[in-house]
Amino acid sequence: MAVKLGILAGGGPLPGYLVEACRASDRPVFVIALEGQADPDIIADTPHAWVRLGAAGEALDRLRAEGVGEIVMAGPVRRPTLRELRPDRRAAKFLGMGLLKKGDDGLLGALVRALEEEEGFRVVGANDVLAELAAPSGPFGGFKPDDESDADIAHGVRVLHRTGPLDIGQAVIVQQGIVLGLEAAEGTRALLERCGPLRRDGRGGVLVKLHKPGQEMRADMPSIGPETIRAARGAGLAGVAVAAGSTLVFEKDALIAEADAAGMFVIGILPADYVDDYDTAS
């Protein structure tokens, strides 16, 4: 029998896809649903426990009691203030390592190491469970980027190669060689909303969304879905480019239908085709 999977569930649809994959393969699963973060409807019919974010000891003890051997971190988690966190003894230990002072990728990488090296769990990536959701290489639907859009993609990759090690964000919008916006704490959808009014005349821009160079991929894989395409269309973009193999694509058929109806391209690229050392931290 497969090792029992523990899902640390934040927001968004990813925890639900992981639960469905476990059911389809008869893999035992238990969900730690983070209060104020996870969607109750997604995990309602799955063995689970609600735990507040600062109660690390309770979460870890419950995972052990349930016989969990592997853990996957799934979905975005809003970073709390120390007052909101109210850390228990084990969470306070993490804080003593200076985790709250790290950027998102530094924080998640440190948590992965702590779960494996100090707590004895094996941490796996969502793509290890959901390999079929990994973005393919090349155009997804009926459209592909023209030369102007391809130049914008190349510039976006270069931008993210330089900003990724600063742990700022995973996405950038480029139009006609000009950066309209770089994702920060607001997330991709808010980035698209912010950049819509900045659109220039002529060919629409491109959303480039990639993992950060040297990123801990088990903790925070980029993802897109039909709502990404709707928001990109609303921002007047010509298309979306993501990293093939290291981006999760939710509801791919619906995503392609949205893009084709809008006349937009969606394409899986290899960042190293644009920047030789993209996948190494710089």
Each residue's pLDDT tens digit, 102-119: 555 555 666 777 778 878
Q: 218 by DSSP, 3-state: which? A: coil
Max Cα distance, the chain (Å): 59
Q: SS3 letters for 5-44?
A: EEEEECCCCHHHHHHHHHHHCCCCEEEEEECCCCCHHHHC
How crowded is the C-beta side of 79, counted as CA atoms within 13 Å? 13
pLDDT score for 95: 59
Asked whether residue 105 falls in the same domain as residue 207, the answer is no
Looking at the structure, do residues 161 and 240 belong to the same domain, yes or no? Answer: yes
With a cut of 50, list the residues of the chain below it in pLDDT.
Answer: 98, 282
Q: What is the pLDDT of residue 282?
A: 40
Residue 278 resides in a domain? no
CATH number at residue 251: 3.40.140.80
Residue 260 has, within 13 A of its CA and on its CB side, a CA count of 10
d(C-alpha 210, C-alpha 220), whole Å: 11
* 260: in domain: yes
Tell me, what's the pLDDT at 104? 54
Question: Which CATH number belongs to the domain containing residue 75 in this structure?
Answer: 3.40.50.20
Based on the structure, what is the number of domains in the chain?
2
Tell me the pairing of strands 223-224 and 248-249.
Answer: parallel
47 and 161 fall within a common domain? no
Dump strand ranges (E) for the chain.
5-9, 29-34, 48-51, 70-74, 122-124, 138-139, 171-175, 178-182, 206-209, 223-224, 239-243, 248-249, 265-269
Please tell me whether residues 154 and 169 are part of one structural domain: yes
Confidence at residue 99, expressed as pLDDT on a 0 to 100 scale? 52
DSSP reduced 3-state for 95: helix
Whole-prediction pTM:
0.83
The residue segments making up the domain with residue 104 are 5-129
Q: Residue 18's pLDDT is what?
A: 94
Q: pLDDT value at position 52?
A: 86
Question: For residues 240 and 269, is the Cβ–Cβ distance under 8 A?
Answer: no
CA distance 185 to 191: 9
Q: What is the pLDDT of residue 81?
A: 61
Q: Is residue 143 part of a domain?
A: yes
pLDDT tens column, 124-170: 989 889 989 999 999 999 999 999 999 999 999 999 999 988 878 89
From residue 242, alpha-carbon distances to 115, 139, 143, 171, 281 in Å are 29, 10, 15, 9, 19
Whether residue 241 sits in one domain with residue 214: yes
12 and 70 share a domain? yes
What pLDDT, on the 0 to 100 scale, is given for residue 167?
Answer: 78
